[in-house]
Amino acid sequence: MLPHASPGNELLRANSRHLMHDVAWYGVLAASTMAFLSVFAARLGASTLQVALLTAGPAVVNLLASIPFGRWMEGRPLVRMTFRSSAWTRLAYLALIPLPMLLPQSALIWVLIGLTALMSVPGTLLAIGFNALFADLVPPDWRAFVVGRRNALLAVTLTVTVLICGLVLDRLPFPSNYQWVFAIGALGAAGSTYHLGRLSAPSDDQLPPRVGQPLLDAARPESVRAGADADRPEADLRFLTRSRGRRLLRLDLLRGPFGGFLLAYLAFYTFQFLPLAIFPVFWVRELRLTDGAISLGSALFYMAMMATSIALRRATSALGHRRLLHVSSLLYAVYPFLTWLAQDATLFWVASLLGGAVWGLLNGALVNRLMEKVPEGDRPAHMALHNLALNLGILVGSLLGPWLALGLDLRGAMLGAGILRLLGGMILVLGA
C-alpha cells in the first residue's frame, strides 16, 4: 500500500503504517463519543447555553494556550510530547463511561462541560504536536499518498462506527446506551494513542524539507465536530513550533492587508459556529429524531464530505482558490436553512448530505486561500494570528447561538442562524 522506499528507509514505511492505523482508530473515537456528546447533553435536558459551553470551553483554552504551548514545544521531542499529551487527553474518554450511573442528570451536564474544557489543555498540546510531527515524519513526496490513504480510512471508520453507534443507541435503554458508545470511543482513543506511541522520530539529518504547504489531513486530533456540520478548519498549527525565536504574536500585521482578510475570516468563523448549540437541541426537542436517525445523518455528512474532499483538487483547478472559497462559503448556509424547513428526518438527511458535500470543499478552500495570503517567509506569526481568530470565532459564535435561541423559538433561531451564515459567506466574498 505504500510508495517505494529505499531499503535504508524502513523507518518511513513503519511510521506511515502507524499513521494509518492511528487514523482508523481515531475515526472510531470521532464517530462515537465526539459525535454524540452534544446529543447526549441535549437528551439530559441541557440548555442551548450548556451545549454551547461544550464548544466554548475548549475554544477558551486554545485561545489562551496555543501560542505559549507552540513556543514551549519548539525544539522539544515531538514524538514523546505528542504521545504523552494524547494519553492525558484521552484518559477523559475512559472517565466518561461510568459517569451517567454515578451522577444525577443536572450535575452530569456541568461535569461534562468541565471535563471537556479540562481535557482540551493537553488536547491543545496534542493538536499542535501532531500537526508538526506529521510534517516531520512524512516527506513532501509521500504526503499526498499518506494523507489520501488516511482520509479514505477515516471515511470508512467514521461511517461504519457512527452507524453502529446509532443501532446501539436505539436498541439499548438510556443512559446505558450512551455508556456503550463512550466505551467504543474509549477503545478508539486507546488504539489511536497506542499507534502514536509507536512512531519513531527520524534523525536531524533525515528530516524532510519544511515546505509551507497545507497538509489537508482530515484527521486532526481533537478536532471535534461539535454539533452537526462544522469542524475546526485545518489551522496548520505546526507553524507555532517553528518561530525560530521570533515573536509569534505580532499585532502589527493586522494594520496591513492581512488585517482586513483576517477580519473576514473571523466573521465567517463566528457565524459558522453560531448554530452549533442549537442543532442538537433542535433535533431532540423540535424534530424528535431518534439517535439512529441522527447517526444516519452523520454518516451521510461524512460520506459526502470525504467524496468532495477527494474532488477538491479538480474543483480548485476549475475555479481557483478564491472563487471556490466564495461559492462554497455562500452554499454553506444550506444546512441550517434545510434543517429549519425539516419536519422529520427526511429533510434532515438531505441537509446532512448537502452540508457534508459543501464542507468538504469549503474546508480545503479556507486553508488554501489562507496560505495564498500568508507570506512564505513569515508564516508562524501570520498563522498564530489566524489561530487566534479561529478560536475567538468559535468562542463568540458558540455563545451567540444560545442568545439567539433565547429571543426566539428553536425554529426561529434556526432560520436566524441560516441568515447569519449567509451573511458570513457574503463577508468572506467581500473580504477574502
Average pLDDT over residues 246-270: 88
Candidates 427, 422, 395, 424; CA nearest to 64 is: 395
Q: What is the pLDDT of residue 9?
A: 74
pLDDT grade for 231, boundaries at 50, 70 and 90:
low
Q: Which residue has the higher pLDDT, 70 or 261?
A: 261
Q: How many C-beta atoms lie closer than 10 Å to residue 348's C-beta?
A: 26
Residue 10 scores a pLDDT above 90: no
Angle at 412 between CA 410 and CA 413, to 5 degrees: 65
pLDDT grade for 189, boundaries at 50, 70 and 90:
very high
Q: How far apart are CA 398 and CA 270, in angstroms?
A: 8
Q: What is the pLDDT of residue 67?
A: 86
Q: What percent of the chain has pLDDT over 90?
A: 54
Q: What is the pLDDT of residue 47?
A: 92
Q: What is the mean pLDDT of the chain?
A: 87
pLDDT in tens, 76-125: 788 888 899 999 999 999 999 999 999 998 899 999 999 999 999 999 88
Give the C-alpha distances (Å, rounded to integers) separating 121 from 66, 81, 125: 9, 13, 7
* Beta-carbon-side half-sphere exposure of residue 270 (alpha carbons within 13 Å): 17
Give the residue carrying C-alpha cell 464530505.
305
- DSSP state, residue 34: I
pLDDT in tens, 37-58: 999 999 999 999 999 999 899 9
Q: How far apart are CA 286 and CA 279, in angstroms?
A: 10
pLDDT in tens, 341-354: 999 999 999 999 99
**CATH code, 9-201:** 1.20.1250.20
Q: How far apart are CA 369 and CA 241, in angstroms?
A: 22
Give the residue carrying C-alpha cell 468562542.
395
Q: What percent of the chain has pLDDT over 70?
A: 89
pLDDT grade for 211, boundaries at 50, 70 and 90:
low
Average pLDDT over residues 232-249: 69
CA dihedral 91, 96, 98, 101 (to 10 degrees): 160
Q: How far apart are CA 378 and CA 246, in angstroms?
A: 10
Average pLDDT over residues 207-231: 57
CB 14 within 8 A of CB 188: no
Q: What is the pLDDT of residue 245?
A: 65
Query: For residue 344, which phi and psi values (nearest 5 degrees)?
Result: -150, -165
Q: What is the pLDDT of residue 204?
A: 55
Q: How far apart are CA 55 and CA 226, in angstroms?
A: 7
Residue 197 scores a pLDDT above 70: yes
Average pLDDT over residues 283-307: 92
Q: How far apart are CA 83 and CA 8, in angstroms?
A: 25
pLDDT grade for 234, boundaries at 50, 70 and 90:
low
Q: What share of the chain is helix, strand, coil (3-state, %, to 5)?
A: 80, 0, 20
Residue 262 scores a pLDDT above 90: yes
pLDDT in tens, 383-392: 889 889 999 9
- Residues spanned by CATH 1.20.1250.20 within the chain? 9-201, 253-432
Mean pLDDT check: name the lowest of 40-49, 302-311, 386-395, 422-431: 302-311
Residue 6 scores a pLDDT above 80: no
Q: Which residue has the higher pLDDT, 232 or 181?
A: 181
Residue 328 scores a pLDDT above 60: yes
Q: Which residue has the higher pLDDT, 137 or 283?
A: 283
- DSSP state, residue 126: H
pTM > 0.85: yes or no: yes
Average pLDDT over residues 239-255: 76
Record: fold of 253-432:
Growth Hormone; Chain: A; (1.20.1250)
Q: What is the pLDDT of residue 7?
A: 44
Q: What is the pLDDT of residue 292?
A: 93
Per-residue cell: 260 = 482586513
CB 30 within 8 A of CB 225: yes
pLDDT grade for 230, boundaries at 50, 70 and 90:
low
Residue 227 scores a pLDDT above 50: no
Q: What is the pLDDT of residue 11?
A: 81
Q: What is the pLDDT of residue 12?
A: 83
Q: How many C-beta atoms lie closer than 10 Å to residue 198's C-beta?
A: 16
